[in-house]
Amino acid sequence: MGPRVVIVGAAGQLGSALVTELQHGWTVVPLTRRDLDVTHAGAAATLAALAPDVIINTTAWNDVDGAEDDPAAAMLVNRDGAARLAEAAAASGAACVHYSTDFVFDGRAATPYAEDAVRTPLSAYGRSKAAGEDAVLRAPRAYVLRLSSVFGGRPGEGAGGRSTIDRITDALCEGREVRAFADRTVSPSYTADVARATREVLERRLPYGTYHCVSTGYTTWHVLAGEISRRLGIPGRILATATGAVTLRAPRPQFCALSNARLAAAGIAMPTWEDALARPLAQRAATASARGVEL
């Protein structure tokens, strides 16, 4: 049997992609939120008792605006929950993989952020994720993989369970108008690519630390929506919108492209965002065709 990996949050979009990726060659122990509450004081002991070789944490408080209303709740999951998993990894001698976000940066850069760029989060959510990074990296064998605009997989357990890219695609397919930010730049992360890269990070035993696990290149949400429309052959109604024109409780970082050069230097190539986007869209079109329905 292969290494024993415990995946926390296994029913979510990324968690389910990791289960699929690692089920061949690894001994996978999938834990949903119903199986393990990372905010519970006994979570670390529960995990350590499973004798893991690797603990992968995909749980998070992802309600960016909600964190402004309840920052303590966001910290409870994103900092304290992450700390418990790192504690369990340290106690059992396991490696720990934790996922973070581009929201730890302020978005005021002009070039893609490297892993060692200064973190200056604008929101309570971003601050809670930065605190989670610090908690995890105290473990002796820890990886923090930063993601951006995650998409793909199936709906998770959290509120909505649909990514922004999924929602844009749904709206275009249903003929609804799409308002997309023309001044917010991201490097999207496709769950299947993140899962593959995570496996390679572990199998190659890369140096512990922080890596940006995002697609190669970057785009605005407006351009991305246009690419979805083009790929699906749908003449969508896409309106360019400025972030300042929308009332949001939490400020969004505007230029949050991330550089994945550190992963590339280690031999782990991430596809372009266009390629990452094309694969699930092609699968969606094929599924619709097989069912005899229009997109």
Integer Cα distance of 252 and 67 in angstroms? 13
- Inform me whether the pLDDT recorded for 95 exceeds 50: yes
- Identify the band that residue 292 occupies on the pLDDT scale cut at 50, 70 and 90: very low
The mean pLDDT value for 244-273 works out to: 93
Per-position b or e across 71-83, b if 16+ CB within 10 A of its CB? bebbbebbbbbbb
- Judging by DSSP bridges, how do beta strands 185-186 and 219-220 pair with one another? antiparallel
The CA-atom distances, in angstroms, between 141 and each of 25, 62, 287 are 21, 25, 41
User: What whole-number percentage of the chain has pLDDT above 90?
Assistant: 70
Residue 80: the pLDDT is 95
Per residue in 139-155, pLDDT (tens digit) is 999 999 999 999 986 64
- Inform me whether the pLDDT recorded for 53 exceeds 90: yes
The first and second tokens of residue 91, run together, are 């106690």
- Inform me whether the pLDDT recorded for 280 exceeds 70: yes
Per residue in 225-245, pLDDT (tens digit) is 999 999 888 888 898 999 888
pTM flag (> 0.75):
yes
Is it true that domain 4-290 has CATH number 3.40.50.20? no
| Environment class of 174 (CB within 10 Å of its CB; exposed 0-12, middle 13-18, buried 19+) | exposed
- Identify the band that residue 57 occupies on the pLDDT scale cut at 50, 70 and 90: very high
113 labelled catalytic? no
The CA-atom distances, in angstroms, between 73 and each of 2, 56, 63, 68, 263 are 36, 21, 11, 10, 32
The mean pLDDT value for 194-214 works out to: 97
The mean pLDDT value for 77-94 works out to: 94
Residue 158: the pLDDT is 43
Integer Cα distance of 161 and 2 in angstroms? 31
| Environment class of 236 (CB within 10 Å of its CB; exposed 0-12, middle 13-18, buried 19+) | buried
Residue in 125, 143, 190, 218 annotated catalytic: 125
